[in-house]
């Protein structure tokens, strides 16, 4: 079962904050009054070395002691709040779980996603409260696919609203313009031959990979208003908009912009050799 981490984080932040607030408004005044009453009961409490001073120190610790839940809430709330703001509105880390974006992204890459470049959205409910930019062709985007509204996917934006996207013999055409494609290398893998090429989409070069032994899967499609057509860079090994349809604007999470670490498995050492900007 997948854990809804954004929801858990919201609950922890607001829960700890409410406990702190409840203590400040309802419980802390009572502790302060009890401390004043103790001082009045022991008028010599300020004279060090006196019996009343020693008694005051012992009893005041009990009178002023915060409940354990309040202590934990006051300790964790600032940290949780910082994590909540960073993760919800600025930058969120993700791990690449599949090979659908090879060769751009490898399984085990840890990436950073800009959460505000496409607009500020409320966590959990995902409502946009501030519009900033719109996705562009060629962006590597994280989103919730139409068929799995609780799982993050990452693909490349191939078509924006109104675009006519065609795929013929594993070459892309957008609005009648063939997307520049330059073959770079072939290599065998498990009896298959993969072809790596440089593709220029949205004015920026990126790598793609195709399996020369798989059918092309030609198609023509017009991108609906408020939707985006997504494809993986590993064109013949990617479940994307060709299978489950176009992505509505409301399901956008953010723009992937950097690899910060690569970690194959728990039993291997993390590597920073792949750290850098995502094209």
The mean pLDDT of 255-273, rounded to a whole number, is 93
Q: Residue 216 has what pLDDT? A: 85
| Measured CA angle at 275 (ends 6, 231), to 5 deg | 65
Q: Residue 191 has what pLDDT? A: 67
Q: Please check the confidence at residue 241 and state whether its pLDDT lies above 50.
A: yes
The answer to whether 170 is a known catalytic residue is: no
Q: Residue 267 has what pLDDT? A: 86
Q: Which pTM value belongs to this model?
A: 0.86
* CB atoms closer than 10 angstroms to residue 26: 9
Active-site residue, selected from the candidate residues 88, 115, 155, 238: 155
The answer to whether 200 is a known catalytic residue is: no
Q: Please check the confidence at residue 102 and state whether its pLDDT lies above 50.
A: yes
Active-site residue, selected from the candidate residues 16, 88, 100, 241: 100
Tens digit of each residue's pLDDT (9 = 90 or more) over 3-57: 788 899 999 999 999 999 999 999 999 999 999 999 999 999 999 989 999 999 9
Q: In this structure, is the dihedral angle defined by the CA atoms of residues 16, 17, 21 and 22, taken in order, positive or negative?
A: negative
The rounded mean pLDDT for the chain is 93
Cα–Cα distance measured from residue 11 to residue 179, given in angstroms and rounded to the nearest whole number: 46
Q: Any residues with CB less than 8 A from the CB of 215 and at least 6 apart, and which? A: none
**Secondary structure (3-state) at 100:** coil
Six token digits for residue 140: 């590597």
Cα–Cα distance measured from residue 7 to residue 11, given in angstroms and rounded to the nearest whole number: 6
pLDDT band at 143 (very low <50, low <70, confident <90, very high): very high
Q: Any residues with CB less than 8 A from the CB of 253 and at least 6 apart, and which? A: 92, 113, 115, 141, 142, 143, 144, 152
The mean pLDDT of 94-123, rounded to a whole number, is 95
Range with lowest mean pLDDT among 55-59, 71-75, 191-195, 228-232: 191-195
Q: Please check the confidence at residue 139 and state whether its pLDDT lies above 70.
A: yes
Q: Please check the confidence at residue 1 and state whether its pLDDT lies above 60.
A: no
Task: Express as a percent the part of the chain with pLDDT over 70.
Answer: 98
Q: Residue 116 has what pLDDT? A: 95
pLDDT band at 190 (very low <50, low <70, confident <90, very high): low
pLDDT band at 238 (very low <50, low <70, confident <90, very high): very high
How would CATH label the architecture of 96-277? Ribbon (2.10)
Q: Residues spanned by CATH 2.10.109.10 within the chain? A: 96-277
The per-residue DSSP string of 19-62 comes to HHHHIIIIIHHHHHHHHHHHHHH-TTTTSTTSHHHHHHHHHHHH
Q: Where are the strands (E) in 52-162, listed by range? A: 91-95, 109-114, 120-121, 128-130, 140-143, 153-159
pLDDT greater at residue 140 or residue 215: 140
Contact 192, 218 (CB under 8 A): no
pLDDT band at 193 (very low <50, low <70, confident <90, very high): confident
Contact 140, 154 (CB under 8 A): yes
Q: Give the range with max mean pLDDT: 4-13, 58-67, 173-182.
A: 173-182
């Amino acid at each position: 079962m997948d854990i809804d981490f954004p929801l858990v984080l919201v609950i922890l932040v607001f829960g700890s904050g409410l406990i702190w607030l409840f203590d400040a408004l309802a419980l802390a005044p009572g502790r302060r009054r009890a401390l004043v009453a103790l001082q009045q009961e022991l008028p010599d409490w300020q004279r060090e070395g006196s019996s009343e001073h020693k008694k005051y120190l012992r009893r005041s610790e009990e009178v002023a002691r915060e409940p354990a839940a309040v202590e934990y809430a006051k300790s964790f709330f600032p940290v949780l709040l910082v994590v909540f703001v960073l993760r919800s509105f600025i930058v969120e880390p993700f791990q690449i779980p599949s090979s659908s974006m090879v060769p751009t992204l490898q399984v085990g890459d840890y990436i950073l996603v800009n959460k505000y470049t496409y607009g500020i959205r409320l966590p959990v409910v995902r409502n946009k409260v501030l519009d900033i930019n719109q996705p562009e062709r060629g962006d590597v985007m994280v989103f919730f696919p139409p068929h799995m509204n609780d799982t993050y996917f990452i693909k490349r934006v191939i078509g924006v609203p109104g675009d006519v996207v065609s795929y013929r013999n594993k070459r892309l055409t957008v609005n009648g313009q063939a997307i520049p494609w330059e073959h770079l290398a072939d290599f065998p893998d498990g009896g298959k031959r993969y072809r790596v090429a440089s593709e220029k989409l949205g004015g920026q070069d990126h790598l793609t990979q195709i399996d020369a032994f798989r059918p092309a899967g030609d198609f023509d499609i017009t991108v609906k208003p408020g939707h985006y057509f997504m494809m993986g860079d590993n064109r013949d090994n990617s479940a994307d908009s060709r299978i489950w349809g176009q992505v509505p604007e409301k399901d956008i999470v953010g723009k992937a912009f950097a690899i910060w670490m690569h970690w194959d498995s728990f039993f291997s050492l993390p590597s920073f050799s792949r750290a850098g900007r995502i094209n």
